[in-house]
């Protein structure tokens, strides 16, 4: 069972305010909430700002469901790096007697997992993961490569918490760049700076810093140090609730990790394809805006409302 991280006093108080205002709707499971109308208005408004910012690059728009074949996370080594975050899908495949036994245990709120079998699906942990095999299936890439806007689909990470900004299931607006190493690295750095300005334009005190992914175990600590040393990951940090700023966007340079797994190549000889991605945590940004400007949208500063198109 994943370790539950209780929120601190400020995080707990903010969560209670969000629930009382019906901006979030309690499900009974930490980190899993319904969203009220005003919460969704803000989320969609900022998502629209990302679309406007990305339009100049004319990315290809692709959309994928919030599940993917489990072989995908097997191929990329996700279970080696993040076994604590993965969510797989199990379903019932038994007979009538087993169905009755399962129902009885479920009615008594007992463990009925013995009647479930693993399917070929898992919950998507990062919105960029379906992009790489989809692009690989097209063959070699022309000079300049490709940029894909994978939209703001739901992703899942199993880390229950009392911090309202640490959700188990949330929308990740992901854009992926695949191409020559210099092209990809320059794109990531340009979007990092563009994203800071985008967040500041809606009244958030946003700053970026070098970061690392939450790799698992002893080997993971080595990977984290290497990732930081090479500055392969940046995060944009904003104050939400709690003692430290929270990452609301991340920018990862994968080098040839995904291209080597899926055989993505450039048309030009001896040119290695690299990948990078950027991801906006749309719920975290919404929470940051609510924390900064208040829970009543009508009382937000007029320039912020105008910038987001909230009227």
Average pLDDT of every residue of the chain: 95
Rounded distance, CA 260 to CA 132, Å? 10
Q: How confident is the model at residue 170 (pLDDT cuts 50, 70, 90)?
A: very high
Q: Are 256 and 228 in contact (CB under 8 A)?
A: no
Please choose, from the candidates 167, 194, 197, the residue with its C-alpha nearest in 3D space to the C-alpha of residue 55.
194
Rounded distance, CA 158 to CA 219, Å? 20
Task: Give the angle 178-182-186 at the CA atoms, nearest 5°.
Answer: 85
In the chain, what is the straight-line distance between the N-terminal and C-terminal CA atoms, in Å? Answer: 45
DSSP state of 273: -
Share of the chain above pLDDT 90, in %: 87
The token duo for 142 is 């022309």
Rounded distance, CA 178 to CA 265, Å? 10
- The number of residues in the chain equals 311
Identify the architecture of domain 9-66+125-308 in CATH.
Answer: 2-Layer Sandwich (3.30)
Neighbour tally for 5: CB within 10 Å: 15
| pLDDT digits 0-9 by tens, 257-274 | 999 999 999 998 778 899
The token duo for 86 is 């993965």
Q: Are 160 and 168 in contact (CB under 8 A)?
A: yes
| pLDDT digits 0-9 by tens, 82-127 | 999 999 999 999 999 999 999 999 999 999 999 999 999 999 999 9
Q: Are 176 and 147 in contact (CB under 8 A)?
A: yes
- What is the average pLDDT across 192-196? 95
Please choose, from the candidates 151, 81, 85, the residue with its C-alpha nearest in 3D space to the C-alpha of residue 122.
85
For the ranges 116-120, 147-151, 242-246, 293-297, which has the lowest average pLDDT? 242-246
- Note the pLDDT of residue 1: 60
- Note the pLDDT of residue 161: 94
Rounded distance, CA 276 to CA 189, Å? 10
The token duo for 124 is 């998507």
Q: How confident is the model at residue 22 (pLDDT cuts 50, 70, 90)?
A: very high
């Amino acid at each position: 069972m994943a370790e539950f991280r209780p929120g601190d006093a400020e995080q707990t108080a903010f969560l209670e305010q969000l629930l009382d205002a019906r901006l979030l709707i309690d499900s009974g499971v930490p980190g899993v909430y319904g969203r009220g109308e005003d919460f969704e208005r803000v989320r969609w408004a900022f998502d629209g700002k990302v679309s406007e910012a990305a339009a100049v690059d004319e990315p290809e728009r692709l959309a994928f469901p919030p599940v993917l074949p489990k072989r995908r996370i097997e191929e990329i080594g996700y279970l080696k790096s993040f076994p604590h975050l993965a969510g797989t899908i199990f379903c019932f495949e038994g007979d009538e007697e087993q169905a009755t036994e399962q129902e009885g245990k479920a009615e008594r709120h007992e463990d009925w997992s013995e009647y479930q079998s693993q399917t070929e699906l898992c919950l998507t942990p990062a919105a960029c993961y379906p992009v790489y095999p989809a692009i690989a299936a097209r063959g070699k890439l022309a000079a300049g490569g490709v940029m894909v806007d994978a939209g703001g689909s739901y992703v899942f990470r199993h880390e229950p918490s009392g911090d309202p900004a640490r959700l188990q299931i949330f929308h990740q607006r992901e854009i992926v760049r695949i191409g020559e190493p210099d092209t990809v690295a320059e794109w990531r750095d340009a979007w990092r700076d563009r994203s800071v300005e985008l967040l500041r334009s809606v009244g958030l005190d946003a700053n970026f810093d070098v970061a690392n992914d939450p790799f698992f175990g002893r080997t993971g600590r080595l990977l984290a140090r290497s990732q930081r040393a090479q500055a392969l990951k940046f995060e944009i940090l904003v104050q939400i609730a709690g003692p430290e700023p929270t990452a609301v966007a991340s920018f990862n340079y994968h080098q040839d990790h995904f291209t080597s797994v899926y055989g993505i190549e450039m048309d030009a000889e001896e040119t290695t394809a690299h990948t990078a991605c950027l991801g906006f945590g749309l719920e975290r940004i919404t929470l940051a805006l609510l924390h900064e400007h208040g829970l009543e949208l009508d009382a937000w500063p007029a320039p912020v409302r105008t910038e987001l198109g909230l009227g």
